[in-house]
Every structure is written in C-alpha cells, then in structure tokens.
C-alpha cells in the first residue's frame, strides 16, 4: 500500500446507523415508558412540522 489507492472504504455503510441506534438506546434505555413516549412524541411532532413546512415552502416557490 503506497497511499495512492483512494477508493478504499474502511467503514461499513451500517456503521453510522448502528452508532446512532446505540446512542439512542443508551440515552433513553433507563427512562420510564411515559418519558420515552413524551420525548419521542415531541421529536416526531417536530419532524412532522418540519416536513409540512418544507412542503409548503416548496409548493409556494413553484407558483
């Protein structure tokens, strides 16, 4: 290996999702169910609101 081979991929495509899943599991693993439901409900609401806002902005630019 002389360092000229730049098309090598050293990490798997599943490394980032696995790391994020592990982070979420560690962060929320000890919380009671009602707290998990509240946190994930808030995050889901923000995701839906962001998606709706993005779609509205996209549709208004088309006209």
pLDDT digits (tens, 9 = 90+) for 12-62: 777 888 998 999 888 888 889 999 899 999 999 999 999 999 999 888 876
Q: Locate the domains of the chain by residue range.
A: 31-63
More confident residue, 14 or 6: 14
- Return the half-sphere exposure (C-beta side, CA atoms, 13 A cut-off) of residue 51: 6
Is pTM beyond 0.85 here?
no
């Amino acid at each position: 290996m002389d360092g000229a081979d730049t098309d090598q991929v050293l990490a798997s495509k599943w490394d980032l999702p696995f790391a994020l899943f592990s982070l979420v599991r560690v962060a929320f693993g000890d919380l009671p169910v009602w707290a998990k439901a509240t946190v994930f409900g808030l995050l889901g609401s923000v995701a839906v609101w962001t998606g709706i806002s993005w779609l509205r902005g996209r549709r208004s630019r088309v006209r």
